[in-house]
Structure 1
Amino acid sequence: MKFCLKGLFLLLLTILLLGCGNQKKNDFSEEKQKIEVGYITLNKQEVPFQQELSGRIKAIYKSEVRPQIDGIIKKRLFKEGSYVKKGDILYVIDPDSYQATYEEALATLKSSEANLITLKLKNERYKESVKFNVISKQEADDAKAAYLQAIALVEQNKALVKSAKINLDRTKIKAQISGFIGISNYTVGALVSQNQTNALTTIRDTNKVYVDLSQSNNQLFKLKKLNKDRIKEDKINVNIILPDDTVYKHTGKLKLQEISVDEDTGYVTLRAEFPNPDGELLDNMFVNTVIESGSSSAFLVPQQAVTLDAKSNYIVTTIQKNNTTQTKIITVIRAIGNKWLVTDGISQTDKIIIEGLNRINEKSIVIPKDLNNLYVDNSKAEVK
């Protein structure tokens, strides 16, 4: 009997000890899941969008100077790199043969005009004489035909004189536009022709210039979506960063009506227009530009608070009222420095975990710690 009571006592003691052990284990597990994490709350802010794109300067007006007649260059009357005005004489082609052709055509015209006077008088006489049967009607008709033929010959010779005069004038090659003239590709004594491929020189009117820019089709779509009204009114400003890293003093406007998509790269060519009164921007010069493409109300979330799920969605982890955690899929537009520009998926009341993400899971109970003073900067940022 004593043995049975002793055995029962030991059994009860063992059960009691096991129960205490399980209770301690459960208490330990529960304590282990309570993990301290740092969180932030964010306010929406108006974020100005800026995009940096490289581009090339293009003169709006460019004239390649070519001869319209054959001949030998006798004179060059401009200084390379200088500013020339429309109508200035640039080259002179030896005019002797063209002068002779003009004078010959002029003499032929005068001869035909003198002959016309004679035939005109004869036609008038014959017209009167035929009324009195002094001459036959056939003779009168012949006189009239000769007169009309003489009129046509005079007109033909006038056209020959005009053509000869045009060719003579073309011996003086003139500037068709005002602008800065480039290097001369031909010297005095060179033989040139009207059908040649190479230009004698090039004039560029750079009072206003284009800047052709390349942008991906996706970025262009976003730009149009954010700036629908401003594009129509030409209100998207563009600034040029010069090679010395200074900002060009004149602001340009973005023109989107002239675009083409490259089938291979998916990039689009945009065009901006700039004033260039001092000629500081040179044709074909590479520059960097900054497009001020509007603004949007959005969140700027520190990148360390954002992770990717199994489907490569951007997510943040938030703290609920009972100190559990929940993940949310967010819409990320692009990076701004060390932050993500987020337009959807979170609210201003969300407590977003920024520290301790690697120590928790969906079952964790967390101990929240406010880290807004360390991570939240509500100053305006620029999209680049």
Structure 2
Amino acid sequence: MKFSVLKMIGVVLAVAGSATIAHAQAGMPGNMEMGPAEVGVVEMTLQEVPRIVTSPGLAVAYQQVEVRPRVGGVIQEVLYTPDRLLEVGDPLFRIDDSSYVAAEATARANLATAQANLPVMQAAYDRAVQLAGRGYTEAEVESARASLAEAKATLESAQAALDYAQTELSWTTLKSPISGRADVSTVSVGDLVTAGQTDALTTIVQSDPIYVDMMEASARILSVRKGITEGVIKQNDTLEATLTLENEEVFRGTGQLVTAGNTVSTTTGTVTIRFKFDNPDHVIIPGMFVRGEVRIGSVQAYLVPQLAATRDNSGKLTAYIVGEDGAAKQVTLEDDGSYQNAWIVREGLSEGDQLIVDGLSSLRAGQTVAPVAVTIDEDGVVRDAETPAAED
């Protein structure tokens, strides 16, 4: 009896399960289709886009001098403070001048002797000329003339020797030839230095203003020149550059072009382009690596957000737009660099095209879509486009 009851319960449960499954299948039509995929779009508009070239750069001192002695001797005094701003003519070092003072005194005495001897030789010559043929032979006159010429030459030589002795004496005080800041001295009081030695006593650097040498590939330069020639790029009247420092901080200041470079490096294929920047706070230090952006001009192009386009292994850039049939259409784009997180596109789009920027993860070409206008903020975040409030 117990077995029959259990068997009856099992039959009831089986029938109930079959009915539930049949009801569920009846409630889901077999030919049900998914609705259009909702995607965010922005309308493409042809606009004037700055043509900016980004290049690595190296800071170079405006002026840099290695200070070496022009006379030898013992360092008596270091007259400057490292890293203090120097002006032209500020004293740096003093060398023992005892021997040079003596040499200057000797030269001065020799000059005095020559100056005293010249009138005597002049008088002797004048007397010989007056008495020529009356007590003075022609040979004696010529001898007097030669003595006078020798006395004049001796005077000039003595004057030159004094000038040089005074110059050497002045060289015992080494002065700054430029404005700038000096490094720590490589010598101390009591060190012996020699004229024209290899080792510099210190280095003076002027870094305000400062040069920045930017390296640009010659191939890109040719491309830019071609764009200007064909009228694609509207060139600015002057070239200006901005800098980004090693810590990604943007340097406050705009550089002016100094020279566009005249040669191409045979090893790197680049041209060195030099700009000059005001650097009053000495933020940029010679030898520092920077990233420069040069604004060449502007082009008429479309700005395609980088999040809306993909680039395959071959370098081809593609994106999706809403086709005339309301379906997603994949297009190939020809880009010309980037600007503010967007690709600069000159071919592949038309005025008014609806570029799909959101809902791309599962999108495929030919899929029906429902476009919704959106905007992209400065951080690259997609937001719904603002719609006017409904009137009461």
The bucket for the TM-score relative to the shorter chain is 0.7 to 0.9
| Structure 1 residues 9-32: Cα deviation after superposition (integer angstroms, max 9, x where no partner) | xxxxxxxxxxxxxxxxxxx9xx99
- Which position in structure 1 is the counterpart of 2:186? 185
Structure 2 distance, partners of 1:91, 1:338, is 55
SS at match of 1:208: strand
- Which position in structure 1 is the counterpart of 2:62? 60
Report the structure, 1 or 2, having the larger helix content.
Answer: 1
- Which position in structure 2 is the counterpart of 1:16? none
Structure 2 distance, partners of 1:343, 1:138, is 98
User: How far did residue 188 of structure 1 move?
Assistant: 1.3
User: How far did residue 307 of structure 1 move?
Assistant: 5.9
Change in CA separation of 1:117 and 1:166 when aligned onto 2, cut-off 3 Å: same
Question: Would you say the 8 A contact 1:238–1:254 is kept in 2?
Answer: no
Change in CA separation of 1:312 and 1:157 when aligned onto 2, cut-off 3 Å: closer
User: How far did residue 187 of structure 1 move?
Assistant: 1.1
- Which position in structure 2 is the counterpart of 1:108? 110
**TM-score w.r.t. length of structure 2:** 0.73
User: How far did residue 127 of structure 1 move?
Assistant: 0.6
| Structure 1 residues 122-179: Cα deviation after superposition (integer angstroms, max 9, x where no partner) | 1111111115x22212111111111111111211221112121111111111111122
Counterpart pick for 1:273 among 273, 276, 287: 276
For CA contacts below 8 A with separation 6 or more, give which structure has more relative contact order: 1
For residues 236-315 of structure 1, the aligned pairs below 5 Å read: 236-241=240-245, 243=247, 246-258=249-261, 260-302=263-305, 306=309, 313-315=316-318
Question: Would you say the 8 A contact 1:76–1:90 is kept in 2?
Answer: yes
- Which position in structure 2 is the counterpart of 1:80? 82
For residues 216-255 of structure 1, the aligned pairs below 5 Å read: 216-221=217-222, 225=227, 229-230=235-236, 233-234=238-239, 236-241=240-245, 243=247, 246-255=249-258
Structure 1 distance, partners of 2:129, 2:149, is 14
User: How far did residue 305 of structure 1 move?
Assistant: 5.7
Seq. identity, %:
27
For residues 140-151 of structure 1, the aligned pairs below 5 Å read: 140-151=141-152
Change in CA separation of 1:137 and 1:334 when aligned onto 2, cut-off 3 Å: closer
Structure 2 distance, partners of 1:140, 1:260, is 68
Structure 2 distance, partners of 1:337, 1:85, is 43
Change in CA separation of 1:256 and 1:342 when aligned onto 2, cut-off 3 Å: farther
Question: Would you say the 8 A contact 1:39–1:351 is kept in 2?
Answer: no
Structure 2 distance, partners of 1:360, 1:144, is 111
Change in CA separation of 1:346 and 1:246 when aligned onto 2, cut-off 3 Å: closer
For structure 1, which segment, 37-46 or 341-350, has the greater mean C-alpha deviation from structure 2 after superposition? 37-46
**Letter paired with 1:104:** T
Structure 1 distance, partners of 2:313, 2:95, is 76
- Which position in structure 2 is the counterpart of 1:200? 201
- Which position in structure 2 is the counterpart of 1:19? none
User: How far did residue 259 of structure 1 move?
Assistant: 5.8
Question: Would you say the 8 A contact 1:69–1:171 is kept in 2?
Answer: yes
RMSD, aligned α-carbons = 3.8
Structure 1 distance, partners of 2:66, 2:280, is 22
Change in CA separation of 1:201 and 1:228 when aligned onto 2, cut-off 3 Å: farther
- Which position in structure 2 is the counterpart of 1:17? none
**Letter paired with 1:273:** K
Question: Would you say the 8 A contact 1:57–1:287 is kept in 2?
Answer: yes
User: How far did residue 310 of structure 1 move?
Assistant: 10
User: How far did residue 54 of structure 1 move?
Assistant: 4.4
User: How far did residue 282 of structure 1 move?
Assistant: 2.9
Change in CA separation of 1:351 and 1:169 when aligned onto 2, cut-off 3 Å: closer
- Which position in structure 1 is the counterpart of 2:158? 157
User: How far did residue 203 of structure 1 move?
Assistant: 1.5
**Letter paired with 1:201:** T
Q: How many residues align?
A: 344
Counterpart pick for 2:128 among 95, 108, 126: 126
Runs of 5+ unmatched residues, structure 2 = 1-29, 381-392
Question: Would you say the 8 A contact 2:234–2:297 is kept in 1?
Answer: no
SS at match of 1:69: coil
Change in CA separation of 1:304 and 1:37 when aligned onto 2, cut-off 3 Å: farther
User: How far did residue 208 of structure 1 move?
Assistant: 0.9
**TM-score w.r.t. length of structure 1:** 0.74
Change in CA separation of 1:100 and 1:233 when aligned onto 2, cut-off 3 Å: same
- Which position in structure 2 is the counterpart of 1:69? 71
SS at match of 2:113: helix
Structure 2 distance, partners of 1:378, 1:346, is 22
